[in-house]
Amino acid sequence: MSDAAADLELDAPTRRPSNRRELILAAAIELFHERGYPATGVDDIGKAVDVSGPAIYRHFSSKEEILLEAIEMAADEVHEANRNVRATGTGPMAVLEGYVRAYVRVAIERSALISVWTSEARHLTSSRRSPMTRRLRAWSSEWTDELQKVRPDLANDDARVLVAGAIGMISTTATTDLRAGRLEDRITSMAMAILATPLN
């Protein structure tokens, strides 16, 4: 295994890839995050896991398929986080704050993956991007529904603006290299403040 591949496993000990396909995906996520999707070649991904570029095609049909799988993984994780919150929430405010905190936690723990999801999805072809866009809208709509329960005065468009602002702030702030103390609490408080913004 190359030093780069070993570093990938050391950086995320709780999510260590268990097979070659997962190792390729993990390496690609890191490279897409560091260099951007267009600047990352299949040969670069292969080099990171000690296989030839063409050998990647035994596991993925194209570089775009790797990006799609990464984005699907990110979407699965945030949707699962929301499901867990709904299963334990005790009211609209608790569910709304649970959604926020769960996404903050995922974005901090999986910063490279979430960064790829939010910044590189535009490189998918429209036929592959559309289902991901629908999943993103369904996820943010869950936040919007809970926000309107907490703030019934808000029109749907106003609620959507606040949710988009909170999600955007979390996505940007939590995926940087900031390592401030109580980062999860601080970003959660900032997001909740955005959702509480008066709109007159």
Average model confidence (pLDDT) for the chain? Answer: 87
Closest CA to 184 of 118, 115, 80, 101: 101
Task: Report pLDDT for 4.
Answer: 42
In the chain, the domains with their CATH numbers are 3-58 (1.10.10.60), 68-195 (1.10.357.10)
Question: Could you give the angle at which helices 156-174 and 183-195 cross, rounded to 10 degrees?
Answer: 160
Q: Is the pLDDT of residue 5 over 90?
A: no
Q: Which two tokens stand for residue 93?
A: 């405010």
Burial category of 7 from C-beta neighbours within 10 Å (exposed 0-12, middle 13-18, buried 19 and up)? middle
Distance (Å, rounded) from C-alpha 110 to C-alpha 91? Answer: 28
Task: Report pLDDT for 182.
Answer: 84
Distance (Å, rounded) from C-alpha 73 to C-alpha 172? Answer: 19
Residue-wise pLDDT for 13-45, tens only, equals 445 555 889 999 999 999 999 999 999 999 999
Q: Is the pLDDT of residue 179 over 90?
A: no
Which has the higher per-residue pLDDT, 200 or 48?
48
Q: Is the pLDDT of residue 51 over 90?
A: no
Q: Give Cα 17 to chain centroid, integer Å.
A: 18
What is the mean pLDDT of the segment spanning 103-132?
Answer: 91
